[in-house]
Amino acid sequence: MRKTLPVGLLGAGLFLTLAGACGGGAGITSPTPGTRSTVSLTIVRSASLIPANADSAFVKVWGGATDVVVPTAIPAPGASNVVSIDVPPGSNYSIEIVAFHDIHDGIRVALAGGEVSNLTFNPGTNSETVPVAPWAFTVAGPDTIQSGVPAAYTWTVTEGPTDLFTTVVEVHSQLGLNMPDDHFNVTGNGTTATATFNVPALANDSTLYLAFSYFVDDSRFHTVSTSFAADMPYAPLPPIARPVKAAAAQVTINFDENRQRMGSSWSTRLGRGER
């Protein structure tokens, strides 16, 4: 299990533009054997979109026998930096970027990702734009939880690259504002995962806060970490909130052998056919 700090993420956008001309189309000369293509990425940050604590990124360019990953810093708002990657000319290339925050001791939190595929790189410089944004997701399950009754929720990633995820999903939950965070792992398929929450019977109404985190495959980015997970945005509490209803009151009536309610001055009679 990993332990992370809460991450606030209202929306993010990171655009990486590769300078030059992008292959394919009439008038393009076939690559000369032995020449190289340069993928030159200009990283621009929007102050209003990219989360402030996303300080680093992995840029992965791959296709065929080529698989290159370059770590880079995400610049401050209004600034930019350039990452250049040399690859052989060819087609069927892909570019993937994951923006993340280093917490401490090798723990990383992925905050946004982006991927473009089916690219052709020609000799010289090549251009492509890779939009990077937080993962969008949906949650299916009961709108209200009855305390004392298990509640299952299914979380599905609907936007953003998912081929960088493993099948391990960490689930966070918090019952009410003052209870500690509870977390456990479930197995997903890289896109969808289901978790069941066993809320105890409560005397008063409350709220259950939920969050899910898919773990990122370190080997995909040629790196090693203590933990590398894509947190669905939450701060200061997980973003998914469901009201929890108090357990229904129970009234137990005991009858003595004369069918009188014990402790009461009135009696009840069983109707015909009742036991």
Asked if residues 41 and 57 have their Cβ atoms less than 8 Å apart, the reply is no
pLDDT at 14: 44
| Range with the poorest average pLDDT among 8-12, 139-143, 193-197 | 8-12
* pTM, 2 dp: 0.73
* Residues 168-196: tens digit of each pLDDT: 999 989 999 888 889 899 999 999 999 99
pLDDT at 82: 79
Task: Say which residue, 10 or 70, is predicted with more confidence.
Answer: 70
CA distance 271 to 99: 72
Asked if residues 128 and 119 have their Cβ atoms less than 8 Å apart, the reply is yes
- Residues sharing a CB contact under 8 Å with residue 133, sequence separation 6 or more, in sequence order: 11, 12, 13, 14, 112, 113, 114, 159, 160
Percent share of the chain, pLDDT over 70: 71
* Residues 143-163: tens digit of each pLDDT: 999 999 999 999 999 988 999
Which residue, among 126, 136, 135, has the nearest Cα to 95 in the 3D structure?
126
**Which whole number is the average pLDDT over 31-51?**
60
3-state helix, strand, coil in the chain (%, to 5): 0, 50, 45
| Topology agreement, domain 14-132 and domain 136-245 | yes
> Is 50 exceeded by the pLDDT of residue 1?
no
- Going by their DSSP bridges, the two strands 107-121 and 227-231 should be labelled as parallel
End-to-end CA distance of the chain: 55
Which residue, among 22, 29, 42, 32, has the nearest Cα to 121 in the 3D structure?
22
pLDDT at 178: 84
- Give me 136's structure tokens: 């969008």
CATH says 14-132 is which class? Answer: mainly beta
Helix, strand, or coil (residue 266): coil
pLDDT at 273: 41
pLDDT at 62: 93
- What is the separation of C-alpha 58 from the centre of its chain, rounded to a whole number of angstroms? 17
- Sketch the domain layout of the chain as residue ranges: 14-132, 136-245
* Residues 42-89: tens digit of each pLDDT: 666 654 456 778 889 999 999 989 999 999 888 777 777 778 888 888
CA distance 210 to 146: 16
| Sequence-ordered alpha helix ranges (H) in the chain | none
- Give me 200's structure tokens: 């105890």
Backbone angles phi, psi at 108, to 5 degrees: -120, 145
> Is 90 exceeded by the pLDDT of residue 199?
yes
- Residues sharing a CB contact under 8 Å with residue 263, sequence separation 6 or more, in sequence order: none
Asked if residues 72 and 99 have their Cβ atoms less than 8 Å apart, the reply is no
CATH fourth-level superfamily of 136-245: Immunoglobulins (2.60.40.10)
* Residues 96-127: tens digit of each pLDDT: 999 998 887 788 999 888 899 999 988 888 77
